[in-house]
């Protein structure tokens, strides 16, 4: 299983919840996390899904994601 990292523009727990609502349609809720303390607000996904599916889910939630 691959671990992918994405730079996001999430700012708070509400942002994480909004992203999670869309992301949980693509991966399980225990397969991703967002580090709000990092400067890049890094989303880490450990799942066998294409990176563009993760980016699409984050974008659908109204946020930006760029693979690192």
For range 3-16, the mean pLDDT? 96
β-pairing, 65-67 with 32-35? unpaired
Domains of the chain with bracketed CATH: 3-67 (3.30.70.100)
Total-model pTM:
0.93
CB atoms within 10 A of CB 50: 10
C-alpha–C-alpha distance, residues 52 and 47, integer Å: 13
pLDDT digits (tens, 9 = 90+) for 23-44: 999 999 999 999 999 999 999 9
* Distance linking the first and last C-alpha atoms of the chain: 17
């Amino acid at each position: 299983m691959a671990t992918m990292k994405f730079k996001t523009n999430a700012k708070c727990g509400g942002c994480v919840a909004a992203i999670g609502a869309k992301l949980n349609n693509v991966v399980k809720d225990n397969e991703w996390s967002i580090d709000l303390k990092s400067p890049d607000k890094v989303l880490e996904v450990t799942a066998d899904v294409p990176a563009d599916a993760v980016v699409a889910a984050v974008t659908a939630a109204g946020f930006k994601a760029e693979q690192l």
